[in-house]
Structure 1
């Protein structure tokens, strides 16, 4: 019989299609109580059983649905919210799979997230997992911990108000985070070092906070694949002279969500000692309004010497990403390039709040990224790089127009494609899923850290 006298006041027992799945020797009363309770077992559903005079005094039955990793992740997030500040004992069934354990643990951490600078209390209750020792469990717990830590960082960076978060502050956070990890190097460019980065200088030129270009390198010995990750880092977006309305501007502290995900994934790769070379590129700027702000009609010269006619100062993300992509093509010789950006409102119109748009001319790469996203719990949908629309990019005074007519998310992807040819490339427009209006399964209200989990899953599978 399990001695619960010194255990917590709340125990968690998973429930699947066949009912509760307790492990170990529960006392007879508790076992009977759990066994007689009807619960549908829907993933993320929590049923509370009270035992006022017993120990534990509360039992939460947590639905795990069909038992897929995503179902266990939903269960973990649901129970940590239901328990509040209670210490939890999670009683796992015998021989729980490694995927289930990883999903549950990620859910516990992600569901317990609170923005650390706004809420000083602990982010989640203490959790003790009760399971048998089985080879592989330690690896699952490590993967879950690193993934959750990376997602927390991406959420924290994105949730930080823009009264604090400017390009210099963001660059300083990256340097500080990387300093505690062996094998990472960080280069921060500013001022005259940005001479060739015409797009970044144009977008950041209207702000009192000058732009930065950050390069993070993870280059383990023996790595044979070189991946470049590019993340849009607009620390606040007023829309510039093409100013946004108030409702469109109030959440624009999140416009660096792509950069946050890329930073977090690169640090996570170092934590896992992944045997793949990674270079992360972060063009950081604040798109503000002043006498020095760039104007509609201006012609911008990018890092590769090509030019873009600015037709909408609120389409600034693609302009800074273009410099980063051109830099990667000229300086880094990568095997593949992935860029993440909170780029267009059209993403949300087309695909809703929880799905990113995926663009790539490479079928194998697109399939691998979508699979990594599905496993990580970050959904994406592939949209076409339709050549029918390329004529819309033509300009009378430059090599291209920055914001042409046509389907918004597709046109942005076609603009970016112009800067990186000949190498495997994918673009994720993740504006919509970068933010959640409420606690929702493994998402907490506010920044979601979207992309960090997908990138770590994908990078972990590379040779």
Structure 2
């Protein structure tokens, strides 16, 4: 898998600047018009005043906080570039991480020396740097891009390193999710996905793989129906992290459709290649579980993912078929492309029956309708519990991951009524994200606090974002880790 760049922290060495041949990244305050810090003054002296002239220029004034400007091949320095990053010493978390991302985007082979001085949130700067330095090159035949090393010079390196340690675990979880979502479906089969999760037993997770025979014995007819047309066997993988006391675990449930053709309700060819990301919910759950294990979280969390492939075949389920869920409810399959909710229905019910969780959140790239409603800036949030929903939205805000709560209600639920079964799996385009959430709610017990996260618009982007290149974003790993930290670890 892709691992975040290792970052070393050390005290400022004013003699190191002149000989360094990589990139120098200097963090300077927004109102700085003259070099103030010891590092800045040293660089200004070596460049014969060039730094001060830049800081006093209109070009610096136009740079937004968290952004940067390169001064290429500055005279007096061996560095290939001097990157001046605008961020105050007391910059907030968002600005510090954005500033780090500006540096991470430019990390190359010679490495980078970051001069952060007495910046209070230097650890957050390191997280932003690590997240943006990600690249997915597993299937390119050219030599991989060499990046690093990265050294941050700070006032108190031991304190910064201590603060950065759990953040490094978060970055590792985000990278694991991104790798899974970026993988092509001929590589990330259901077998391969399950094997990657089983390997996390080395980190202390308890991992159990339920095969098709197990799922049949449990009565998971809704989930099994989705994978009937595929050569890849359907599975449910259960990951347990028991870092708390004897309390009931918190449950995370993910949709893991490793490829979605739409089944017999075949999708249009244009854009179908992006359906390798239809396992994004399972990818996020997996990344969160990896993070919890790496940072030895003091909480009990169980992650469950339903792994299937939705293919058209002589054995594939048809529109009009009726399947029976583990709960016992029957479902008329109106559209085989509304398959994710069938997978989640059984896994949600299994999670509650087996683990009696204190709360539950599911994630899925569930509907195109959520992209119509919210674009690619926010995940759609649906919930039966204000307390859990508010706590999650607070965690999203803290971590800078966009999320927006949408309504639910009886009128939407009534649209699911079927002529031949207990419910339909699809009931038209209007309110499509909401009716999908209403479908899932039927498989959530009244006593279980629950949120449904529709990440169809946020799991993978066609353009680069602040913290990721084009492709998988890893959205949700940071927010869910923050929720668990705040709600269960205090």
**TM-score bin, normalised by smaller chain:** over 0.9
Deviation at 1:132, TM superposition (A): 1.5
Equivalent in the alignment of 2:201: 179
Q: State the partner residue of 1:434.
A: 459
Distance in 1 between the 2:99 and 2:244 partners? 39
- The whole-number CA distance in structure 1 between the counterparts of 2:254 and 2:67 is 35
The C-alpha deviation readout for 1:364-422, integer Å capped at 9, x for no partner, is 21121112112222100010112221110111221111111330110111100110121
| C-alpha separation in 2, matches of 1:113 and 1:223 | 38
Of 282, 288, 312 in structure 1, the residue corresponding to residue 335 of structure 2 is: 312
Q: Name the CA distance, whole Å, in 1 between partners of 2:134 and 2:262.
A: 30
Aligned to 1:86: 110
Quick check: 2:257–2:279 contact (8 Å CA) kept in 1?
yes
Q: 1:438: Cα distance to partner?
A: 2.3
Q: Report what 1:2 is aligned to.
A: 14
1:213 paired residue among 216, 236, 253: 236
SS of residue matched to 1:270: helix
Shift of 1:211: 0.5
Residue of structure 2 aligned with 1:34, choices 47, 51, 68: 51
Trace 1:400-411 onto structure 2 (pairs within 5 A): 400-405=423-428, 406-411=430-435
Q: Which residue of 2 aligns with 1:47?
A: 69
CA–CA distance in structure 2, aligned partners of residues 132 and 295 of structure 1: 65
Give the deviation of 1:84 after TM superposition: 3.1
Name the CA shift for 1:60/1:67 in 2 (closer, same or farther; >3 Å): same
CA distance in 2 between partners of 1:292 and 1:148 (Å): 41
- 1:85-121 deviation line (CA, Å, top 9, x unaligned): 3311111131x22xx3233112211111111413552
Alignment match, 1:350: 373
Secondary structure at 2:296 match in 1: coil
1:250 corresponds, among 259, 269, 273, to 273
Counterpart of 1:112 in structure 2 is 133
Is residue 2:212 matched to residue 1:191?
Answer: yes
Equivalent pair of 1:64/1:74 in contact (CA under 8 Å): no
TM-score (norm 2): 0.89
Q: Does 2:439 correspond to 1:418?
A: no
Q: Residue 303 and residue 427 in structure 1: after superposition, are their counterparts in 2 closer, same or farther (change >3 A)? A: same
The corresponding residue for 1:462 is: 487
Match of 2:4 in 1: none
- In the aligned structure 2, how far is the partner of 1:367 from the partner of 1:123? 42
Structure 1 counterpart SS, 2:151:
strand
- Segments of structure 1 that go 5 or more residues without pairing to the other structure are none
Unpaired runs of at least 5, structure 2: 1-12
1:391 to 400, 414, 421: 414
